[in-house]
Every structure is written in C-alpha cells, then in structure tokens.
Structure 1
Amino acid sequence: MKVLKGQDILALGFMTFALFVGAGNIIFPPIVGLQAGPHVWLAALGFLITAVGLPVVTVVALAKVGGAMDALSSPIGKVAGGILAAVCYLAVGPLFATPRTASVSFEVGLAPLTGDSPLALFLYSLVYFIVVFWVSLYPGRLLDTVGRFLAPLKILALAVLGIAAFALPAGDIGVAEPAYVAAPFSQGFINGYLTMDTLGALVFGIVIVNAIRSRGVTSPQLITRYAIIAGLIAGVGLALVYISLFRLGSGSHAIAAGAGNGAVVLHAYVQHTFGSLGSGFLAVLISLACLVTAVGLTCACAEYFSQVVPLSYKTLVLLLAVFSLLVSNLGLTKLIAFSVPILTAIYPPCIVLVALSFCKEFWYSQRRIVAPVMLISLLFGIIDALKVAGLAHWLPNRLANLPLSEQGLAWLVPTLITLAGAFICDRLIGKRQEALA
C-alpha cells in the first residue's frame, strides 16, 4: 500500500495553507485590528471562527466523502446540489476571488511603485494570468510547484511580516469604531466571510485529494487521514497569520488612522517599518500569496466544470484565466462592493451543509433535516444580503429588525428553529415507519 513520507505530508500541508492564504486573508485582518481598537482580540475570535475554524472543518467534511462537493451536498438532491456547487465555484473562481487576487496584488503591491493606471493594471494582470494559466495546466504537479517551492517562499515572507508586527509595533492601540464597541465578536465573525475561505475549502477539497492521489495513494482511509492532517496544518498557519495581522493593524493607529481598507493599513505599516525596501517586499509578498491562491482556484474550477460541461480541462483553464483577466480590470473597489452581498447570502447555507454533515448519525433521514434547514438559512441570508447592499427599505419592518439582524446574523435564529422542527418531524416519521415495518 502506497503511503506518503513525512516530507510529503508536510508539503501537502504547506500547499493547503498556501492555497488558502490569498488576497482577502492579508488585507482584511489589518483593518479589523485597526477599527476594533481595544476590542481587537474579541473581534479576532469571531473572525477566526469563520476564517479558520469553518474552512478546516470543511476540509475534514470533504475528506470524509472523498473530496467531491457533490457527495457532501447529496442530501439536498442532485439539482440543488449542482446549483450550490456551481455558485460556489463561480464565486471563488472567475466572478470574485480569482480576479480579486490580481486586483489586490496590483493595488497593494505594485500600484504604489508604478502608478494606479488602467494600462499598468492590464499589463500586470496579463502577465499574472499567463503564469496562472501555465501552472494550472499541470494539476498533478501542484504538490511540487506549490507545496515544495512557492508555499515555503510565501510562508517565509509571511513569517517576516508576522514577527515584525509583534517585535516592531508602529504605535499604541487606538480608539474603536462604534460598530466594534457595540458588537466586536459579531463584526469579526462577519468580516471572516470576506476571506471566502469556507467557500474556498469547498472547492479546494478535490484539489487536495487529487494531490494525494498523484503520489499513488489509493486507500480512502489514508486519503482522508492525509487531507485532515493537511487541513489542520493549514489551520494553524492561518491562525498565526491572522493573529500577527490583527496585531499589526491594532498598533497602526498613529500611521493609518482613518484608513478605508486593510491594504492601506498594510502598506503604511510596511513603509513605516521597512522604509523604501518595504514597498518592494510587500509587492513580492502579495503577488506570491495571491498567485498561489489563483492557481488553486483555477485548477479546482476547471476540474469541476470539466465534469459537467463538454469542454476539456485545458480549454477550461484557458477560458477561466481569460475571463478572470477581464473581470480583474474592473478594479478592486467594484469587485468587493459587488461580492459582499453575494457572500452574505450564500455563506449561511454552506455553513449549515458542513455543520450538519457531522451530525447525520442523529437522525433517520439526511434529506429531511438538511434540505429545509439550508433553505431557511439561504432565505434569511438573502435578507442579510439586502441590508448589506443598502436595500433594507425593500424589506417589511419585521424582516428588517429580526433578532441579531444588526450583527448580520438574522439567519441564525430561524435556522436553529427550523433545525429543531425538522429534527422532531424526522423522529416522528422515522418511528412511524419503524412501526409500520
């Protein structure tokens, strides 16, 4: 029986970590740290739940079913599962996350050096997606190209930044924004959505499993074990990165007060701490971090859609790279503004799907539980999304003022109530069927 060596397992963990750490992972924690002020660690706790805990749990859930998202979503039926999978793949692929990796790496790393012109963005994104296309053509080599080469470089750069954040703070912690004074934990929880890591985990599952299989491992038990280990290594790495970036942001009040996003905070800190070399270092760090994530997302999307549309893997890699190139040239601000409401709507059913996959022994029928609970979480997630999009005036007062609505968690209470009702119905129907038998 083929097994992985210790160095292969470590490379797999590094690869998984590198796939997750992209644009959002680097730019969102600093702004949370800056705006949360003295409440930074309570906000960090909420953020770590959605940006570390949920992705790791998702990797474990997928590993248990072989890595494919359709196996995880089977309780809601083939059609609904296919729609959910397509939405997730498109969201973390060519519509939002993949183009965002190019936009962020340009605006944070290169624009301060070259100027923020449309031509500079186009030329940068063209070269960027040519590299993404070339590396993504050979998914079987990901463990070598990413796990053994790109990931260690990325980890080294992040380690330098993380150590600097604690050893060389830019200043004292500032005053918290009103939203973080009122509800720091829930603000951190919602901001964790923006990293897209849970959605990323849903699509990276098959990439991780295929990387294990590329080494000749065929045992389902071993594949599951290695995928879980990789997820845990990635989770520890993510937590360390986030904690250091929270510290970086919280101590940057003196140099980045009033910053509108984490990119500004990060650039101000690096410039302050590392001087003229800082901008070059930041450009390399961001580009490397984003490039690895873009490769993983492109591989995952091409792998999935090659099974549902009559196009080859290589053709899809080309189409995804070209489409992502075009979308990335819309600019970072438009991408983030458009993506936040969509993510707010689709995150709740994804969280429900992953969480309930660990509880299937508690009920007779998965479909009776998962389908209605996911549906309710989606409907109320859409209500949260309308509020985020500034369309709360479309909603009746009762829906606009649901419990936890101000925290962006209006979906939580109705979902738990639906789960309790579905569980009772499942018990009653299950016992009745046993009696008839």
Structure 2
Amino acid sequence: MSTAVSSAGNGTGKRPSNSAILFTALALFSMFFGAGNLIFPPMLAVQAGDNFWPAILGFLTTGALLPVLAVVAIALSGSNVRDLAQRAGTIFGVVFPVLAYLSIGAFYALPRTGAVSFEVAVTPLFGWDSTASAAIFNIVFFGIALALSWNPTRITDTLGKFLTPVLVLLLVIMIGMALFTMTNQHYQPSETYASNPYPAGVLEGYLTMDSIAALAFSIVVISSLRNKGFAEGKPLVRGTILAGVGASILLALIYIGLGLIGRAMPDASQYDSGAPLLADSALQLMGRPGQTVFALIVVLACLTTAIGLITSTAEYFSEQFAGSYRTWAIIFAVASALMATQGLDFVISIAGPVVGFLYPPAIALIFVTLIEPLFRRRTRLRWGFFLPIWVAVAWSLISTFISLGWGADALSPIVDWSPMQANDLGWLLPTAVAFIIGVIIDFAKPHAPLEIGTQRTVEGETLEEAEAHNA
C-alpha cells in the first residue's frame, strides 16, 4: 500500500511505498549489527546478573536509540554528514567528516569486519589461524562485499530483501532455542552493575560507538529513499525517521534476546567474552551444526556491515573528492583486506584513539541538531552549534592525549574535575554549558530559522539571502 506522500516532483518517477521503508529499515539494521553488537549483550547479562533489565535498558538507550537519532539528525540537516558538520565552521565541516568516514571505513570498522569474521567464526570452526589463511579469507570476504556494493542504488534491496532476513532468521533460531530449552541462571551483579545498573548499561552501549557509523550510513538511507520516490523535505525526513525507528526496534529486540541467552547459559561467569559464550551456547543447543549456525551469524553480521561501510564511504568520497564511486569502493575494499589480514589487535591499535576522539563531538553534533527544532520559530542556532561542538572537540582531544600518555601529568587537572571523566563522559557537562551559552548568544541576535529537511529558511529564502536580510 502506498504512503500518502505524492511522488510528484521527486524527480524519480517512482511512488514512495511502505515496503521501501521496511526494506530500508532492515538494511539499516544489518549495517549497524556487526559482530561487536552480537557479543556485547550476552556479556552485559552475565555481568549485570539479577540487575539485567535496568542494565539492558541502559544499553538500548545508547546502543539502539542513539545511532538512529544520528540518522534522523542527518535527515533534518541535509543529505550527508558534511552538511551537518559545516554548521560548526569550515574547518570542522571538512576535517570531521573525513576522519569519521575513514575511522568507520578503511582505517578501523571496515577491516575489523574481516578480522572479526576470521578470528571469531572461521578459526574456531576450521582451525585455520595462519597469516596465509587469513589473507585468503579476507580477499574472498571483501571481494564478496565489494561485489554486493557495486551498485549503490540497490544496496537496500541487497541487504533488506536478501541478506538481512537470513541473518535475522538465524538469530531468531538461536535465541528461540535458548529461551525454550534453557533456564534463567541467577548471578550476583559485578561491582560495576551492583549499585547503578542503568548508567553502567548506558556506558556499555556508548562504547559500541555506533553513532559515528550512523552518521555515515545516513547517506545510504537518504539516497536510497530518494531513489525510491521520496521527495525532498518532509516526505524524505518522514521516511528516514520511520526507517530509523524500525531499525531501532529490531536492534532492541535482538539485543534483548542475546542478553537473555547470557542469562540462561549455565556457568556463564567463566567466560570473559561474548563470542565464546554464544559459540558454546550454539554448540549445546544444536551440536556441531550449532557451531556452523553461529559462524554463519558472525560472518553475515560482519558482511552486511562491510557492505554498508563500503557503500557509504565510497559514496561520500566520490561526492566530495575526485574519483568515481567504484574507484573509491575498490580502494577501501583492498585497503581493508590488507589491514584485516594483520589481525584484530593491529586494526584496533591503528584507529582506536581516533575513534575515541571523534565520539564526543559526534554525539554533541547529533543532539544539537535534534534540539534545534525547539527554537526554529525564533532563531537558527549558530553559536549554539559552534561552542558546544568545539568544546567537545577540545575536551576529547585532551582526553585522547592523556589516554596515550602524552603530557598526562600536565593535562589531567584540566579535565579531571568534571563528573564521569573516569568513564570517558567528562565532556558532557562542559559541552552542555557551552550549548546554553551559545543559545543565549543566538537569542540575543536571532538568525533566520531553517525549514526541516532543507537548506532553506521557512520564508523560502536561501541562507545567503536570509543572512543578507538580517544584516
């Protein structure tokens, strides 16, 4: 059944449909759901013990809701992360998107999909652990991912109609068998989850760092919906929000199911990672075929994420720099295969600090964008964007230097006073204060507000015309 949105004026000749939103939601889910997302919830369940429910709700807040909010923020601001980042100044608008795409692309998340697939799925199943076998696997893995990413206009069909249903089916089989055949175990919460399980779960979801990937995946979601007939402005924003909500709900259900496996697994406290816990649970539930099912889940989860990462990074770099989409896709696939062959520890050592540095300004960017509509009838935020984002950048840079041991004695007093700095959340308070100051400045001299989902003011003027008019 078609949506009420007319296809007139969308430039594609296609009529938007609810099925397009459904398949886009499934594709978005699969892009988010990598091997890391697979193994976090069961270990959280083990560590939280009898405090499982408040802990998993905290995890869902930052692990399922926050990434989808990032996609919505991009839809509200424009067509890609650069449109959003430029609101914080030219330097941030150029540097941040490039670092974000590289960190979730060839420098970190993309090679990690191959490395995790090999180490978590292939090595335990077949016993292969040599560099040569890793190289062969990653050539095949990234070759398949590249082939399935070759036509970016079909990416949501490839993921949403084919790969994601298979992935979800395998997950449902494993979760369903565990729930019907295993009995919940009672564990004492670890020290972290004993007194404040919800904040501890929030921090665990925060550490998945999916919000940076969400900023990148948005380009795939928006271009796909646009190609399927959703007109610019409110129809495209509405379609993006519905797809994001659908992906968020499915993520939440799968996370809860995986957490319940952790609660039901006998002697689960002996495991120090979710990967062997899930592998052993699959073995107990289905025997040797269970190991194969688990391996397929890991490889499919990583493959769908790799496809999304190749597509989003190649689309962005082809739009912003010289070179075609397919040229950039080949470059990222080859670079990722080379890095993944060196192993997971190598990948993390290269890009871990960069990803940690990017996360605070990324979250600040998301929330300022989502909050701005509350003020849109009065003003368009300028300092309300600039100040909090640059405070987050500065704070995150100092924290990154400290974590690397660069001038830690001199820099630590600058940031240690802030609440939750020990949990890497010290940037929240100064960033919030900077936002309030910026909003006060913006209200003192209002700017023409933006219409949602466009780069034009509500009066129909371009930004340049509105700024000239205000001056």
TM-score by length of 2: 0.85
2:395 is aligned, of 355, 370, 380, to 380
2:419 is aligned, of 390, 393, 403, to 403
- The structure where helix makes up a greater share of residues is 1
Q: Does residue 414 of structure 1 match 2:430? A: yes
Q: 2:245 maps to what in 1?
A: 232
Q: 2:453 maps to what in 1?
A: none
- Once the two structures are superposed, the pairs formed by residues 419-430 of structure 1 within 5 Å of their partners are 419-430=435-446
Q: 2:202 maps to what in 1?
A: 189
Q: 2:149 maps to what in 1?
A: 136
Which secondary structure state, in structure 2, belongs to the residue aligned with residue 307 of structure 1?
Answer: helix
Contact kept, 8 Å, 1:270 with 1:279, in 2: the verdict is yes
Q: Does residue 308 of structure 1 match 2:320? A: yes
- Partner Cα separation in structure 2 for residue 249 and residue 340 of structure 1: 27
1:241 is aligned, of 242, 254, 258, to 254
* Letter in structure 1 aligned against 2:438: A
Aligned CA distance change for structure 1 residues 250 and 397 (closer, same or farther; 3 Å): farther
Q: Does residue 160 of structure 1 match 2:178? A: no
2:84 is aligned, of 62, 65, 72, to 72
Contact kept, 8 Å, 2:78 with 2:84, in 1: the verdict is no
User: Matched residues, percent identical?
Assistant: 33
Q: Does residue 30 of structure 1 match 2:42? A: yes
Q: 1:52 maps to what in 2?
A: 64
Contact kept, 8 Å, 1:17 with 1:234, in 2: the verdict is yes
Which secondary structure state, in structure 2, belongs to the residue aligned with residue 396 of structure 1?
Answer: helix
1:111 is aligned, of 123, 127, 141, to 123
Q: 2:187 maps to what in 1?
A: 174
- Partner Cα separation in structure 2 for residue 92 and residue 214 of structure 1: 25
State the Cα distance separating 1:119 from its structure 2 match.
2.3
Task: Report which stretch shifted further, 124-133 or 181-190.
Answer: 181-190
- Once the two structures are superposed, the pairs formed by residues 257-406 of structure 1 within 5 Å of their partners are 257-336=269-348, 339-361=351-373, 362=375, 364-385=379-400, 395-397=411-413, 399-406=415-422
The aligned length equals: 433
- Partner Cα separation in structure 1 for residue 215 and residue 276 of structure 2: 30
- Partner Cα separation in structure 2 for residue 425 and residue 148 of structure 1: 49
- Partner Cα separation in structure 2 for residue 271 and residue 320 of structure 1: 35
Q: Does residue 206 of structure 1 match 2:222? A: no
Q: 2:160 maps to what in 1?
A: 147
Which secondary structure state, in structure 2, belongs to the residue aligned with residue 260 of structure 1?
Answer: coil
Q: Deviation per CA, 1:335-365: give whole Å up to 9, x if none.
A: 3455554333221111111111123252635
Aligned CA distance change for structure 1 residues 180 and 89 (closer, same or farther; 3 Å): same
- Partner Cα separation in structure 2 for residue 183 and residue 370 of structure 1: 32
- Partner Cα separation in structure 1 for residue 284 and residue 350 of structure 2: 32
Which secondary structure state, in structure 2, belongs to the residue aligned with residue 210 of structure 1?
Answer: helix
State the Cα distance separating 1:389 from its structure 2 match.
5.5
Q: Deviation per CA, 1:212-250: give whole Å up to 9, x if none.
A: 233344444322222111111101000001111122223
Aligned CA distance change for structure 1 residues 312 and 99 (closer, same or farther; 3 Å): same
State the Cα distance separating 1:142 from its structure 2 match.
1.5
Which secondary structure state, in structure 1, belongs to the residue aligned with residue 188 of structure 2?
Answer: coil
* Letter in structure 2 aligned against 1:139: P
Q: Does residue 41 of structure 1 match 2:56? A: no
* Letter in structure 2 aligned against 1:215: K
* Letter in structure 2 aligned against 1:319: I
- Partner Cα separation in structure 1 for residue 409 and residue 200 of structure 2: 22
Contact kept, 8 Å, 2:86 with 2:94, in 1: the verdict is no
* Letter in structure 2 aligned against 1:428: A
Q: Deviation per CA, 1:2-38: give whole Å up to 9, x if none.
A: 3223333322221121221112211222222222222
State the Cα distance separating 1:387 from its structure 2 match.
6.0
**CA RMSD in angstroms, aligned pairs only:** 2.5
- Partner Cα separation in structure 1 for residue 404 and residue 175 of structure 2: 34
Q: 2:462 maps to what in 1?
A: none
- Partner Cα separation in structure 2 for residue 151 and residue 189 of structure 1: 26
Task: Report which stretch shifted further, 333-342 or 348-357.
Answer: 333-342
* Letter in structure 1 aligned against 2:59: F
* Letter in structure 1 aligned against 2:117: S
TM-score by length of 1: 0.91
Q: 2:461 maps to what in 1?
A: none
Task: Report which stretch shifted further, 186-195 or 413-422.
Answer: 186-195
State the Cα distance separating 1:396 from its structure 2 match.
3.2
- Partner Cα separation in structure 1 for residue 48 and residue 351 of structure 2: 23
- Partner Cα separation in structure 1 for residue 424 and residue 249 of structure 2: 27
Aligned CA distance change for structure 1 residues 22 and 3 (closer, same or farther; 3 Å): same
* Letter in structure 1 aligned against 2:227: S
* Letter in structure 1 aligned against 2:391: I
Q: 1:126 maps to what in 2?
A: 139
Q: Deviation per CA, 1:151-202: give whole Å up to 9, x if none.
A: 1111111222232343233651323332233543333223223433211111
Unaligned runs of 5+ in 1: none
- Partner Cα separation in structure 1 for residue 237 and residue 415 of structure 2: 42
Contact kept, 8 Å, 2:113 with 2:303, in 1: the verdict is yes
Task: Report which stretch shifted further, 10-19 or 199-208.
Answer: 10-19
State the Cα distance separating 1:381 from its structure 2 match.
2.8
Unaligned runs of 5+ in 2: 1-6, 8-13, 448-466
State the Cα distance separating 1:377 from its structure 2 match.
1.6
- Partner Cα separation in structure 2 for residue 371 and residue 165 of structure 1: 49
Contact kept, 8 Å, 2:31 with 2:308, in 1: the verdict is yes
Which secondary structure state, in structure 2, belongs to the residue aligned with residue 311 of structure 1?
Answer: coil
